[in-house]
Amino acid sequence: MPGTDVAETQRIVLGELPDLPHLPELPDRGPGADMIGRGGTFLVELPIELYAARWRLATRPGHDLRVARDFLERDLDTMTEQAGEFAGTFKVQVPGPWTLAASLSLPIGGAVLRDPGATRDLAASLADGVREHVASVRARLPHASVLLQLDEPSLPAVLAGRVPTESGFGTLRSVDVSVARSALSQVISAAEVPVVVHSCAPDVPLSLLREAGAVGVSLDLSLVRDLDALGEQLDGGMGLFAGVAGRTSADLASSVRDLWRKLGFPLAAMAAQVVVTPPCGMATVAVLKAVRDAGRRLTDDAS
């Protein structure tokens, strides 16, 4: 979300999204509050640092990691203060192993993704960190049910061999589906709470995510190309966090409703299986209000 005041932003989230609030992320605060910097705080015994404006693995914890951890700790303290008695479902989010592997550099240069051994170590480290993070959130919010979102915008590029090399003149070798599934499953299993995987990219591997243990997928609907693949997973019970854009809540609801009808599912099933969300990078207060109202419109349709 935009801005730098986490206390005010958390109040907004709790007020505008009472049925499914989340721990907001405020990257405008600078390095360490960004997705990859925050992701590094969850790595166990794999410290990170900034080098030439890019995050990389480091030999020892330093100033950059302390800043990132301080941002996270302050955010968690604010969450505890404002949502400590919350008794519904509360969402937190963590970058997934493949997005981190594609975004973090090795100390010698090049993405972690280019080294299979380093990638395995990163996935195992993230799994340990996710386990600790979720346990901490559950202890801070004793009455809530925690939902974890794994952010994997780079996953389709990792599978397709489209992640650029450090020079930018080539691409890294594609990762086998079974290897990708194994790393995701390791992290998802470690969370011990329901996990939704978010990917704001085309060609999201829906069957892989479900096989890895995800209970839902978060997509930008404007990027969905294969309706049959989406329909197959929804028919199997997977939840859908539908990222939609529009001028009004009626526009948002109409976009989701039209997709649901194209897939051939009854409206009565929609309220239990679909959550309306903003597209990537558009979570302003006005948009949060619009998606909340769109969700209520769709609930009314199903009743």
- pLDDT, tens digit (0-9, with 9 covering 90-100), for 207-234: 999 999 999 999 999 999 999 999 999 9
Per-residue confidence (pLDDT) for residue 250, from 0 to 100: 94
Q: Which of 195, 201, 114 shows the shortest CA–CA distance to 156?
A: 201
pLDDT of residue 247: 87
Instruction: Write down the pTM of the prediction.
Output: 0.95
What's the average model confidence in pLDDT over 272-292? 89
Residue 303: pLDDT band (50, 70, 90) is low
Chain centroid to CA 273: 18
Question: Is residue 99's pLDDT more than 80?
Answer: yes
Closest to 103 measured CA to CA, from 83, 75, 122, 124? 122
β pairing state of 216-220 and 54-57: unpaired
CATH pick for 6-214 out of 3.50.50.60, 3.20.20.210, 3.30.160.60, 4.10.520.10? 3.20.20.210
pLDDT at 279: 86
Write down the mean pLDDT value for the chain.
95
pLDDT band at 143 (very low <50, low <70, confident <90, very high): very high
pLDDT at residue 269, rounded to an integer:
86
What is the mean pLDDT of the segment spanning 279-293? 87
pLDDT at 283 over 90: no
pLDDT of residue 289: 93
| pLDDT at res. 29 | 97
CB 159 within 8 A of CB 205: yes
Average pLDDT over residues 140-158: 98
So where are the chain's domains? Answer: 6-214, 218-303
> What is the SS3 string spanning the chain?
CCCCCHHHHHHHHHHHCCCCCECCCCHHHCCCCCHHHHHHHCCCCCCEEEECCEEEECCCCCHHHHHHHHHHHHHHHHHHHHHCCCCCEEEEEEECHHHHHHHCECCCCCEHHHCHHHHHHHHHHHHHHHHHHHHHHHHHCCCCEEEEEEECCCHHHHHHCCCECCCCCCECCCCCHHHHHHHHHHHHHHHCCCEEEEECCCCCCHHHHHHHCCCEEEEEHHHCCCHHHHHHHHHCCCEEEEECCCCCHHHHHHHHHHHHHHHCCCHHHHHHHEEEECCCCCCCHHHHHHHHHHHHHHHHHHC
- For residue 156, is pLDDT > 80? yes
Closest by alpha carbon to 292, among 227, 231, 244, 260? 244
Return the percentage of the chain with pLDDT > 70, whole number. 99
